[in-house]
């Protein structure tokens, strides 16, 4: 049995969870037509259950609703830090468009029954510097170029 990395798992999970919470709060406050779903946010429908069961560590997965499939792809394509792969739990932040990747085999009705929508982005938040992550998402969602201009 390979236990390589097990000794730092607690540290990494703490960073995953704290980064995800901070990014979720940031994105919620940023607005710009983005809807954020994260169980650490008090308005999440399962927040109370998550608080009881997860003891303040709400995981690393955030979902965003962007308003349209086109906007979801624009955001994904313009982000610099996240890798666009379907894994979860990596030390690197990962992002995907679930409707066209992991749920591509489902009908539209099955996707919606599963909570997967064409305007959705799934983010598996990594352990990078949170300020770098927030700046990357802020720049892309607000539609700014590299010089900070819209």
> Which pLDDT score is estimated for 143?
86
What tens-digit pLDDT sequence spans the chain (150 residues)?
788 888 988 899 999 999 999 999 999 999 899 999 999 999 999 999 999 998 889 999 999 999 999 999 999 999 999 999 998 989 999 999 999 999 999 999 999 999 999 999 999 999 999 999 999 999 999 985 555 554
Cα separation values, 1 from 4, 6, 10, 11, Å? 9, 11, 19, 21
d(CA 50, CA 39): 6
pTM: 0.91
Domains of the chain: 7-141 (3.90.1150.10)
């Amino acid at each position: 049995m390979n236990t390589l990395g097990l000794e730092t798992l607690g540290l990494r999970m703490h960073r995953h969870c704290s980064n995800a919470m901070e990014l979720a709060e940031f994105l919620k406050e940023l607005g710009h037509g983005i809807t954020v779903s994260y169980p650490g946010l008090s308005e999440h429908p399962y927040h109370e259950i998550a608080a009881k069961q997860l003891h303040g560590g709400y995981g690393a997965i955030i979902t965003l609703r962007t308003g349209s499939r086109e906007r979801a792809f624009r955001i994904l394509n313009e982000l610099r830090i996240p890798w666009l792969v379907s894994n979860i739990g990596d030390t690197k932040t990962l992002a995907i468009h679930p409707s066209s990747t992991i749920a591509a085999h489902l009908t539209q009705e099955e996707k919606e029954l599963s909570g997967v929508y064409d305007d959705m982005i799934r983010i598996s938040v990594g352990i990078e510097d949170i300020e770098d992550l927030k700046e990357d998402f802020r720049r892309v969602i607000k539609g700014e170029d590299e010089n900070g201009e819209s």
